[in-house]
Structure 1
Amino acid sequence: MPLVVYVEDQNHERMAKTHEDHKGTFLSLCEAAPEGSILRAVNRYGDTMFNEIQLVRFVAELNELPPEKRNSTVRKLAAAAEFAIASHGYLFFVGEPFEPRSVTV
């Protein structure tokens, strides 16, 4: 299930929606990001929300990625973040539902 991302206004009303590709390339970038990176905060199995201040850093980190890693998903998310910043809003990432594996004892 691909990551779903919403742009929300100050009242958390959803203004736009996008999603990552089915290969999970954006989540792979996030999981490979260095400690302390805002990208590293995006959680595959939980929800993540960035405010306007965090989004400035998020966009900067996306723009610092090597050109070969700035695929269509990264460009869409940068545009969504810019829209959220201009709207003084939020970017809300909806993670995959966590389904624990059954263990046989």
Structure 2
Amino acid sequence: MPLVVYVEDQNHGRMAKTHEDRRETFLALCEAAPDGSILRAVSRYGDTMFNENQLERFVAELNRLPEDRRNSTVRKLVAAAEFAIASHGYLFFVGTPPV
């Protein structure tokens, strides 16, 4: 099951939803990211939430990726993060527990 991502407002009301592609290219980027990267914090199996400050770093890291790694999923997540930042909200990643 692909990762689901919600944009939430300050009260954690859900304003938008997107998801990982079926090949899980975003999760592969996260798992391959170096130690200290905000991307490493995204969990495949648990939930992850980024606040406005963390989202600034998240967007910067995604925008520094080589052009060939910025696929449609990455572009959607940058747009979702920018929407959350503009709304002073959060990005909430819903992982899938292992079976």
TM-score interval w.r.t. the shorter chain? over 0.9
Paired residue secondary structure (1:49): strand
Question: What is the deviation of 1:97?
Answer: 1.8
Supply the AA of the counterpart residue of 1:59.
V
Aligned to 1:54: 54
Tell me the C-alpha RMSD between the 2 structures.
Answer: 0.4
5+ residue gaps, structure 1, are 100-105
Q: What is the CA deviation profile of residues 16-68 of structure 1, one whole-angstrom value per residue up to 9, with x for unaligned ones?
A: 00001000000000000000000000000000000000000000000000000
Paired residue secondary structure (1:88): coil
Paired residue secondary structure (2:93): strand
Aligned to 2:23: 23
CA distance in structure 2 between the aligned counterparts of 1:80 and 1:89, rounded to whole angstroms: 11
Computing the radius of gyration from Cα coordinates, the structure with the larger value is 1
> Identity of paired residues, percent?
83
Question: What is the deviation of 1:7?
Answer: 0.1
Instruction: Say how many residue pairs are matched.
Output: 99
| TM-score where L is the length of structure 1 | 0.93
Aligned to 1:71: 71
5+ residue gaps, structure 2, are none
| TM-score where L is the length of structure 2 | 0.99
Aligned to 1:38: 38
Paired residue secondary structure (2:21): coil
